[in-house]
Amino acid sequence: MKLSPRKLLLWLAAIVIAVVLLMAYLLLRQFEFEKLRDEYKERTPGELIRYARLRLIGHDKLEALLLGPLRYVETRVERSVPDIQLPAKGKGQQSHSHGPVQYLANGQPIPELLASSPDGTYLSAASIRVATSEALAQAVLSARAGQTILIEPGRYLIKSKIRTGFGGERDLPITLRADKPGSVRIDFNTVEGFKVSHPFWVFENLHIRGVCEPAGDCEHAFHIVGKASSVVLRNNLIEDFNAHIKVNGEGGNWPDHGLVQFNTLTNSRTRDTGLPVTPLDLVAASKWRVADNIISNFAKSGGNQISYGVFMKGGGHGGRIERNLIVCTPREISQPGVRVGLSFGGGTTDKAACRDQLCQSEHTAGLAINNVIAHCNDFGIDVNRASSILVAHNTLINTAGIDVRGGQATATIYGNLLEGRIRLRDGSQAKSSMNEVSAMLPMLKNADALDLRWRAAIDTVPSTPLVTEDFCGAPRSTGTPPGAINPEPICLSPASRRDLP
């Protein structure tokens, strides 16, 4: 019997309705109505979809019937990333070199200004030039305070860990650098690249790449441990590692007062590993400053599939995460896994790795300010069992928002511009004020493409003394817009455009 177009359409509609009702019935039986209702009130749509997918594991018939529709709904709930090369917004590795690192009396490195310093080397008579992989490893092992190791242009394949042998001093750091950014590439085919266990080392202008097969065997480009205080990583491009920069204690010592600035940390493909995937993974160290970096493309397909752009945890204090551009997924936001922008607390810490062996607070008195975070299928900013955290003047685009969780978590959330929500759970506490929770597309020129110029004037909020500048490093006036960007941002002009790798 031949059906008319009208009857065919009615039959198709009836089939769709029947499938939807069947799915609803099966889901309600599987998850229980009241539990599902409670989860809905507490969870984001993306979390609910992932929760449903997890509960289906082991139910072969339900998986066969429902995984496809769940995947379809997920791709409709999560807003896709524009199919363009996203701009770098003046962050990440720069094309110019910077001047010598300066330190405060306590050994804290002073961040560079956003304005470029004159190019040029700063070699002393005691400096070392290296042109082979073997000479590079030997120079790092034997360098003394005040020396600069200059790597000649070229490509270097390293198949075993490179260790520091001695430390620098506050006025005489040891520096390992390329003369010009992009002139030196170091390929590591080893679990760890540089193992830094001595203070006052500076690494800059390098291109470092993990070339392990399988790729997940490349764990860290830098592993900074124990007595390696006041380490500076500046103006490097580091790609294809699980945790590009790993910082943790060793032997009862903690590598405090570090600086990570103007680096690009990224991956060319999803990390197929069960190990932690966090481009900047800091455990138990205090007073690190993470500024003006690009952190992007850190998806994880193995293990629990949860990855973070950067976290500080393990009982340290006083960390600052500021003026960074974090793009969880520059493409395919609905690929498998969970991606969080930045976190104080991460997934929490084993007590044996905690600074005080307790981790009553995963991090104390940390600041997340003036960051732009985009295209994360989970929360852009996460505070988990961390205390006295300031989350101020961040711009969160196409993320679930800001999450404060864990009974010990306390935070001040001020002047942020975000989509999604500000969520408190598990008995956490937060003071929240002057935040703008709204769709970005009407407010900014093209938020998804990271064109962050304002479409029109917006009401300002009172400035806070702890946030004196914006994402571009420009001073904030007495009244300032919510979010990371001033009304006339100096670093978003076409002249400053570079693209994310």
484 in any annotated domain: yes
Which ranges in 128-168 belong to alpha helices (H)?
133-142
Q: Which helix (H) or strand (E) holds 68?
A: helix 60-77
491 in any annotated domain: yes
* Both tokens assigned to 471: 């994402």
Do both 272 and 386 map to the same domain? yes
95 in any annotated domain: no
* Both tokens assigned to 76: 């409709």
Asked if residues 158 and 151 have their Cβ atoms less than 8 Å apart, the reply is no
Do both 346 and 366 map to the same domain? yes
CB-count burial class (<10 Å; 0-12, 13-18, 19+) for 498: middle
260, 284, 300: which is the final residue of a domain?
260
Cβ within 8 Å of residue 324, ≥6 positions away: 91, 290, 291, 292, 293, 294, 295, 310, 342, 371, 372
- Overall pTM surpassing 0.85 (yes/no): yes
237, 260, 283: which is the final residue of a domain?
260
213, 243, 260: which is the final residue of a domain?
260
CA distance 443 to 487: 12
Angle of helix 5-31 relative to helix 45-56, nearest 10 degrees, comes to 80
90 in any annotated domain: no
Asked if residues 266 and 300 have their Cβ atoms less than 8 Å apart, the reply is no
> Which range marks the domain in which residue 64 is found?
5-77
- Measured over all CA atoms, what is the biggest interatomic distance in the chain, rounded to whole angstroms? 94
- pLDDT score, position 118: 53
Into how many domains does the chain fold?
3
CA distance 394 to 477: 17
Among left, alpha and beta (phi > 0; psi -120 to 50; other), residue 315 is left
Do both 143 and 282 map to the same domain? no
Do both 161 and 213 map to the same domain? yes
- Per run of 10 residues, the mean pLDDT along the chain (length 501 residues) is 62 62 59 52 73 71 73 78 90 92 96 62 74 98 96 98 98 96 97 98 98 96 98 98 98 97 97 97 98 98 96 98 97 93 97 92 98 97 98 97 96 97 95 94 90 87 93 91 86 63 81
183 in any annotated domain: yes
SS3 280: strand
In terms of DSSP bridges, do strands 451-454 and 444-446 run parallel, antiparallel, or are they unpaired? antiparallel
